[in-house]
């Protein structure tokens, strides 16, 4: 069921906070957001004790961006709650999950000490397959895996890397290796902080080679984010394209995003203390 045009117009207008933040970030980089379109789809409806209507819905917004002479689309999907009086007047509206609230929730995740692996093993990383998977599932959940409703970012990235041929190892020890099997998984598969340290320390199977600038990343590579700069990594994205200035554009879950500019300064979770780790995946370092 799709929101009718009357509600759709009001809800889009109520979204000017984060939508304008995205547009302003593009303008600071010299881009032009040529068009913004949105579509809301209801996934639940409830009647309150006052006989008002409460809807939970997903709002998908598409930004058509012009950079120099090149055009591309950035897409984001966010979960919201909207309340209407019986006369259909909008009285309350909020985003249910945001990156800022999820960032604070992630602080409860344990810091995992990973056992170093001494063996070395190369694998052929299929970047195209990883990006293809990232594009297919950026705004959906693959039923073959567990979906973490409030914090799915690293689980999604792990799936992308595995689709690109990254081998799992470490079963059944959740604190070592990187794996998903029989609805169980390692901490490094689903926890952003554990995943970041796994990439830094692994010398067998899935490995990450840290580079110093985002321009050195290719599609299929990974960026890890410490939004508060406190040493705890909160978020993970995968590079799916490069813009006209050779800056990475990334896909992610929580909030679902496609071809989003890599630095995330349009996010409510971002702070000036934000720290990044840029990882090349596989062994093709040329």
Is 60 exceeded by the pLDDT of residue 3?
no
The average pLDDT across 119-135 equals 87
Q: Give the tokens for residue 85.
A: 């009086």
Residues 129 and 137: their CA atoms lie apart, in Å, by 12
Q: Note the pLDDT tens digit of each residue in 216-274.
A: 999 999 999 999 999 999 999 999 999 999 999 999 998 999 999 999 999 989 999 99
Is 90 exceeded by the pLDDT of residue 74?
yes
Pairing of strands 90-95, 70-84: antiparallel
Query: Where do the structural domains in the chain lie, given as residue ranges?
Result: 5-96, 109-281
Q: Note the pLDDT tens digit of each residue in 114-123.
A: 444 344 467 8
For residue 44, what pLDDT is reported? Answer: 83
- Preceding amide of 172 cis, omega within 30: yes
CATH class for the region spanning 109-281: alpha beta
Give buried/exposed letters for 110-146 (b at 16+ CB in 10 A, else e). eebebeebeeeeebebbbebbbbbbeebbbebeeebe
Is 50 exceeded by the pLDDT of residue 102?
no
- 233 touches 222 (CB < 8 A): no
**Residue 178 CA: distances (Å) to CA of 84, 144, 172:** 46, 17, 10
């Amino acid at each position: 069921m799709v929101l009718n045009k009357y509600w759709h117009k009001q809800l889009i207008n109520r979204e000017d906070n984060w939508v304008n933040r995205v547009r302003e970030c593009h303008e600071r980089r010299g881009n032009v957001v040529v068009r913004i379109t949105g579509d809301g789809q209801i996934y639940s409806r409830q009647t309150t004790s006052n006989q008002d209507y409460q809807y939970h819905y997903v709002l998908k917004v598409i930004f058509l961006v012009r950079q120099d002479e090149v055009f591309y689309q950035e897409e984001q999907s966010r979960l919201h709650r909207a309340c209407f009086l019986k006369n259909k007047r909008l009285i309350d509206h909020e985003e249910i999950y945001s990156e800022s609230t999820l960032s604070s929730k992630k602080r409860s995740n344990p810091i995992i000490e990973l056992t170093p692996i001494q063996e070395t093993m190369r694998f052929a990383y299929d970047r195209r397959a990883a990006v293809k998977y990232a594009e297919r599932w950026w705004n959906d959940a693959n039923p073959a895996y567990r979906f973490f409703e409030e914090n799915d970012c690293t689980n999604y990235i792990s799936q992308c890397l595995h689709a690109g041929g990254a081998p799992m190892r470490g079963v059944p020890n959740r604190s070592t290796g990187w794996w998903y099997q029989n609805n169980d998984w390692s901490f490094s598969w689903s926890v952003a902080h554990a995943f970041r340290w796994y990439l830094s320390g692994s010398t067998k199977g899935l490995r990450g080679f840290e580079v110093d600038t985002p321009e050195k990343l290719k599609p299929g590579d990974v960026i890890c984010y410490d939004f508060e700069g406190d040493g705890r990594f909160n978020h993970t994205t995968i590079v799916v394209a490069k813009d006209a200035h050779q800056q990475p554009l990334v896909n992610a879950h929580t909030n679902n995003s496609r071809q989003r500019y890599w630095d995330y300064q349009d996010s409510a979770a971002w702070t000036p203390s934000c720290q990044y780790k840029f990882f090349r995946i596989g062994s093709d370092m040329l």
